[in-house]
Structure formats: structure tokens, C-alpha cells
Amino acid sequence: MNGTAPGMFSRREVKDIVISVIVLSVVFAYPEVFFEPVFFLVSLFVVGVAFMGHELSHRFTARRFGYFAEYRMWPQGIMLAIFFTLVSNGSFIFAAPGAVVFGSFWAFKNPTMEEVGKIGIAGAVFNIALMFILIVANFFYSHWVLAYAALINAWLAIFNLIPLGPLDGKKVLHWNRGIWTLGFALAIIGFVYLNLF
């Protein structure tokens, strides 16, 4: 452990979050980022809220269960985000530049499948809830920033709920298939709605 007080952020965690947010903001704004500098600033704010809300939801939930938890950047994830963005010209965003790692302060205590699942779904719950709030707001006060923010939250929820590899979806599916199905379906519904309307 690094001796950071509960609720506080270590220097490494802050650095990892900042780098991850900047990279995700660029890839979500690609290729417009090169022609519309203001669009990058909008992306930086929107992605910052969506991504930090997602990761801090994991962190908060893990700490509520009594675990040490901090965000860690995944260098390979950063490279994959950049790679897929360049190859797809911004059509596909690999949205996993890092993750909240957590573990017990005590060697004999291991997270249960339920705890792992609840920690895993926490991030998507934040994004799905914010997505629907933004959809409703955009319905009454139509603005491209609201739609853009909703779309980013939808994609973060969808991508992270894919039940493969180290993504949250695999942990949630192993814990509760019904909750995973509901979360994934809500994210897909919001994403489709935003692309159609």
C-alpha cells in the first residue's frame, strides 16, 4: 500500500487518470480534434466527467466493501486506443486505457464473486444513468454537446460490459447474468436511440 488516506488520491493515480482522460478525449474527438480545437476542449470536459465517473464508481464501491482501490493506467490499453482510432479513422474507440485495481488489506480475505460483480457493474451504472439524464435533457433542450456527452457515456457502458478478457462485463456476467443483460440492453438502447434520433 502507498499510505494514501482513504478517499485521497496518490500522485501516481492522479497522473494515470490525467493521461488516460487526455488520450480518451483525443480519440473520441478524432479526427475533428485537428480542425476544431474547441471541440477537443468539449471532449476533454465530457470525457473527463464520463470516464472519471465510471472509474471512481468502481473505486468508491470497492472501498465501500473495505478494499484498497486505485486507478491504474494500462499502457497497452493506451496504445490500443490510439491504434484502433488511427486504423478506423475514429470509427471505433477502444475505451480501456486502464482500470481500478483493488485488493484486501488482509491476506486471508479475498473478494467474493458478488463483490467483484458489484464493483464491476458500478462504472456502467454511472454511465447509463448519466446517458439517460442527458438524453432527457437533450429532448427538452436540443444541443449537440448533450447528445455527444450521452453518446460517449453509452459507448463507455457498452464497451466495458463486453464479457471478454479483463473488461467489467465478464465479471458482471459471472456474478449475475440478469443484471449484465439489463445493463447491456439499456446501454445498447440508448446508443441506438442516439444514433437514430
Residues with a catalytic annotation lie at: 55
For the chain, the three-class secondary structure string (H helix, E strand, C coil) is CCCCCCCCCCHHHHHHHHHHHHHHHHHHHCCHHHCCHHHHHHHHHHHHHHHHHHHHHHHHHHHHCCCEEEEEECHHHHHHHHHHHHHHCCCCCCCCCEEEEEECCCCCCCCCHHHHHHHHHHHHHHHHHHHHHHHHHHHHCCCHHHHHHHHHHHHHHHHHCCCCCCCHHHHHHHHCHHHHHHHHHHHHHHHHHHHHC
